[in-house]
Amino acid sequence: MSEKQRSRKKWTVGFFEDRRGSRPVQEYLAAITDVTDLSHILLVIQRLSILGQSLLETKQAKHIEGVIYELRPGRHRILYAQDGNRFVLLSAFIKKTDKTPRSEIDNALSNYREYQNTGGFFEQTVKPI
């Protein structure tokens, strides 16, 4: 597949939704008051929907462990997993240390297990502001 063809492929990106109907990443984004930060985050999410895991070839995404990957827009981190042609945004936090905290990885893994059991996924088109 050529670079041009690969860039046209679209993946589905959506929010993990827990049993109570809570969407942790969507709630995290809704609480951001800095429009520049929010715009940058949404742009990186949109790039994931276009480039898929090719985004790992940039500094905007990184493999953490197992099924967990990390989007890296500025000081914000969004942990996600791939499920077929779907990317599930599992959890988010502000980066404060050089290494991703174990508690954040464990939280994302727990959310992923719940996603696998319940199928809790809220698809939403993400466009930069």
Range of the domain at 63: 3-120
pLDDT given at position 7 = 47
The phi and psi torsions of 36 (rounded to 5 degrees) equal -65, -45
Which three-class secondary structure state does DSSP give residue 125?
Answer: coil
- Section 45-51 average pLDDT: 93
How many domains is the chain built from? 1
Query: What's this model's pTM, rounded to 2 decimal places?
Result: 0.88
Distances (CA, A) of 13 to 65, 96, 122: 20, 26, 9
CATH number of the domain residue 77 falls in: 3.30.2310.20
pLDDT digits (tens, 9 = 90+) for 1-46: 445 544 455 789 999 999 999 999 999 999 999 999 999 999 999 9
pLDDT given at position 27 = 96
Assess if residue 114 is contained within a domain.
Answer: yes
Assess if residue 31 is contained within a domain.
Answer: yes
**CA count, 13 A, side-chain hemisphere, 12:** 12
pLDDT digits (tens, 9 = 90+) for 92-128: 999 999 999 999 999 999 999 999 999 888 887 666 5
Distances (CA, A) of 69 to 33, 48, 64: 25, 11, 5
pLDDT given at position 87 = 97
pLDDT given at position 1 = 43
